[in-house]
């Protein structure tokens, strides 16, 4: 996860290696393998985000960033962070240029508010599931759907963006197989990613989005524990409990409950496709809006 912080980049030689047509800002973020800096692209006049690796000797990180560039360059969707280009610093570090997003992550919003209203939830889920439908139709799975990777952009958080395709994979005409390593955030990982006994499909994104929808409504994740192995075992051996059991004080729309319950089924073939979910969520939103207008 990239967390915003401020620093004097004029004292950080790492950032001074970018081409001189970037006017660098003091605002940047940092994750486990990459740094992000805000910059002005003097050629285009755009404010951009530059994502660059911290360790240019790590071949796996280099491959992963290259894959992210490739995938982002293939996707054009209003709810996906926009790829603008890529290059290499004078030190040999590859970087990717993306649109700069002003706003807050969904995680930040949930930390401040815990729960969201149904209409708010649907207004987040609809663009995200639309973005995932486009990804899946183009043979791409995100593999890291979670609130940290959903940006609610200014003004008013009405523009929703799916970010961080660092773990995404291309299907390339055949199902994705496991590479023997488990990446991702345990609370959102689909069972088939844990067992590593079958090819991966877009159903893993649907499962993770279902967990996220559950969390937005109830304020809690269905499976959580301080020990990662116990969380993984819960995904494998337990059904996701009904939302009303986790939040008995809430009046949860039955239509929303039914959709989420289908999304988090343990068997991937029993989960709906992203295209189906897009229609289901839009119909539900229209229904809720009509009900609200009568009050």
Name the residues annotated as catalytic. 144
Question: How far apart (Å, rounded) are the C-alpha atoms in residues 234 and 129?
Answer: 25
Question: What is the full DSSP assignment across 105-138?
Answer: EHHHHHHHHS---HHHHHHHHHHHHHHHHHHHHT
Only one residue has tokens 């663009």, namely 127
The helix/strand/coil state of 120 is helix
Joined tokens for residue 183: 């990446």
184: left (phi over 0), alpha (psi -120 to 50) or beta: left
8 Å CB contact between 262 and 273? no
Question: How far apart (Å, rounded) are the C-alpha atoms in residues 20 and 14?
Answer: 14
């Amino acid at each position: 996860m990239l967390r915003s912080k401020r620093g004097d980049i004029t004292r950080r030689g790492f950032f001074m290696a970018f081409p001189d047509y970037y006017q660098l800002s003091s605002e940047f973020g940092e994750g486990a393998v990459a740094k992000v800096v805000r910059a002005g692209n003097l050629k285009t006049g755009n404010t951009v985000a530059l994502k660059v690796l911290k360790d240019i000797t790590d071949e796996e990180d280099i491959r992963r960033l290259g894959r992210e560039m490739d995938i982002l360059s293939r996707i054009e969707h209003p709810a996906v962070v926009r790829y603008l280009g890529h290059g290499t610093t004078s030190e040999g570090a590859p970087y990717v240029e993306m649109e700069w997003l002003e706003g807050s992550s969904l995680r930040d919003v949930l930390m401040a508010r815990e729960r969201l209203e149904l209409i708010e939830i649907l207004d987040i889920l609809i663009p995200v599931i639309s973005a995932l439908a486009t990804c899946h139709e183009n043979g791409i799975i995100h593999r890291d759907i979670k609130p940290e990777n959903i940006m609610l952009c200014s003004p008013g958080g009405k523009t929703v963006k799916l970010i961080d395709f660092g773990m995404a994979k291309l299907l390339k005409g055949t199902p994705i197989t496991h590479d023997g390593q488990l990446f991702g955030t345990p609370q959102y990982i689909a069972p088939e990613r844990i067992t590593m006994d079958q090819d991966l499909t877009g159903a893993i994104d649907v499962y993770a989005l279902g967990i996220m929808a559950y969390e937005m409504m109830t304020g809690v994740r269905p499976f959580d524990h301080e020990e990662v192995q116990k969380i993984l075992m819960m995904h494998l051996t337990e059904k996701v409990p009904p939302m009303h059991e986790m939040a008995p004080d809430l009046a949860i729309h039955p239509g929303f409950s039914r959709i989420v319950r289908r999304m988090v089924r343990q068997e991937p073939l029993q989960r709906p496709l992203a295209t189906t979910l897009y229609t289901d969520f839009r119909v539900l939103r229209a229904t809720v809006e009509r009900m609200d207008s009568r009050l």
